[in-house]
Amino acid sequence: MKRLTTLLATAVLLISAQAHAGKIVVLDVQRALLSSDAASDFRKQLKSEFADDEKQLVDLEKQARALQEKLQKNAGLSSDDDMKQLRLQFQKAFGEYQRRGQELQQQRTQREQTFIGEMKPRLDEVIQGLIKAQDIDLIVNKQAAIYVVPSLDITQSVVEQLNKQ
């Protein structure tokens, strides 16, 4: 229901804007940011920056899996003390794996948010330049539209302008 209301409001806004005879375009902001050369460079930098951490995480996962398999193979064959010791080792390895995985994900997310924050002023500048150059009256977020004639989508123009900066 809420989505329908949003779509109707967008349609009314589009119709009233067309009556105004202004230029209406759509923009996929996320795609524009993620398709830019700066985003590509950032992904490469991030990959190299976290390569060692990811390798350690994979090693921890292998260690935890090996301990889990050992637990399963030795179930009923080993003494209770040995099984208890194996369970503790597995829990410790698995807990470390989870902790480091969450830590790594938080670091990546923080770096991505920093990148987006750095790109926002550049994106705003590009959008303002296109508004003036193309005499745009309304920019609609592409995710809010059901259908868009490809000629109204300025996302690629935004990417090209971001790459020029």
Instruction: Name residue 39's amino acid.
Output: A
- pLDDT exceeds 80 at position 122: yes
Q: Report d(CA 28, CA 20) in Å as an integer.
A: 24
Task: For 78-91, write each residue's pLDDT tens digit.
Answer: 677 877 888 898 89
Task: For 132-163, write each residue's pLDDT tens digit.
Answer: 999 999 999 999 989 989 999 999 999 999 99
pLDDT at 17: 46
**Neighbouring C-beta atoms of residue 74, cutoff 10 Å:** 13
pLDDT at 155: 94
pLDDT at 38: 93
The H or E element containing residue 121 is: helix 80-134
Residue ranges of domains in the chain, CATH in brackets = 20-163 (3.30.910)
Closest CA to 27 of 2, 165, 162: 162
Average pLDDT over residues 6-17: 52
- Burial zone of 147 (CB within 10 Å; 0-12 exposed, 13-18 middle, 19+ buried): exposed
Cβ-based neighbours of 107, under 8 Å, separated by 6 or more: 50, 53
Task: For 18-46, write each residue's pLDDT tens digit.
Answer: 555 578 999 999 999 989 999 999 999 99
Both structure tokens of 9: 């409001």
